[in-house]
Amino acid sequence: MPDELKGEERLAELQRGKDRLTKDIDDRRREPQFRVNLYESQLRRSLQNLLPNEPDIDLLPFRSGDLFIEDLERLTTTTLKALERSLDINEQEHQTLQAQIDSLGVELRDQENALAELETLFALDAAAGQELDVGLSKNEEERNKIEQFKHRKCPFGDVLIRNCAHVQDRQRILQIAKLQDAHAIEQAEVRRGEERRKIAEWKVDLRKEMERIKKEQQDALERRKALVVHASAQRDSARDLERTRNGLVIWMQKRDGSGGYEELDLLRRKLDATEIEIAKVENELAKLLRQHDENRERLAAIFSWAVRSVLSFSGYDGRVSLENRELAFSITHGPAMSGEAVESLAVLLADIACLVYNMVSGRSHLPGFLMHDSPREADLGIKIYRSFLRFAASLQALLGGLESCSFQYVLTTTTPPPKELQTKEYVKLQLNASRPEGLLFRRNIAQARLDDLSSGGDPL
Among 227, 246, 265, which residue terminates a domain? 246
Query: Across 294-429, where does the E strand assignment appear?
Result: 317-323, 326-332, 369-373, 408-412
pLDDT at residue 295, as a whole number:
81
Inter-CA distances, 48 with 52, 85, 235, 434, Å: 5, 19, 17, 97
Burial state string for 232-264 with b = 16 or more CB within 10 A and e = fewer than 16: eebeebbeebeebbebbeebbeeeeeeeeeeeb
pTM for this prediction: 0.42
Task: Give the integer Cα–Cα distance in Å for 413 and 430.
Answer: 10
Task: Give the integer Cα–Cα distance in Å for 333 and 319.
Answer: 10
Nearest residue to 384 via CA among 426, 351, 412, 343:
343
308 assigned to some structural domain: no
Nearest residue to 165 via CA among 177, 157, 174:
157
Between helix 165-254 and helix 32-50 the angle, nearest 10°, is: 130
pLDDT at residue 138, as a whole number:
63
Return the percentage of the chain with pLDDT > 70, whole number. Answer: 74
Looking at the DSSP bridge assignments, the partners of residue 40 are: none
Q: Looking at residues 123-130, what average pLDDT do you find?
A: 53
Answer for the pair 407, 397: CB distance below 8 angstroms, yes or no: no
pLDDT per residue as tens digits for the range 298-322: 888 988 999 898 888 777 888 888 7
Answer for the pair 46, 241: CB distance below 8 angstroms, yes or no: yes
Among 184, 218, 246, which residue terminates a domain? 246
185 assigned to some structural domain: yes
Whether 197 has a pLDDT exceeding 60, the answer reads yes
pLDDT at residue 147, as a whole number:
64
52 assigned to some structural domain: no
Answer for the pair 220, 121: CB distance below 8 angstroms, yes or no: no
456 assigned to some structural domain: yes
68 assigned to some structural domain: no
157 assigned to some structural domain: yes
Looking at per-residue pLDDT, the higher value among 167 and 359 belongs to: 359
**What residues make up the domain containing 444?**
434-460
Q: Domain tally for the chain?
A: 2
Answer for the pair 203, 38: CB distance below 8 angstroms, yes or no: no
Among 246, 278, 297, which residue terminates a domain? 246
Whether 121 has a pLDDT exceeding 70, the answer reads no
70 assigned to some structural domain: no
| Max avg pLDDT among 207-216, 288-297, 395-404 | 207-216
pLDDT at residue 94, as a whole number:
87
20 assigned to some structural domain: no
pLDDT per residue as tens digits for the range 32-78: 677 888 888 999 999 889 888 888 888 888 887 777 678 888 889 99
Q: What is the CATH number of the domain that holds 163?
A: 1.10.287
Q: Round the average pLDDT of the chain to a whole number and report it.
A: 78
pLDDT per residue as tens digits for the range 409-460: 888 888 888 888 888 888 888 888 788 888 877 888 777 667 666 666 555 4
Instruction: Place 172 in a pLDDT band, splitting at 50, 70 and 90.
Output: low
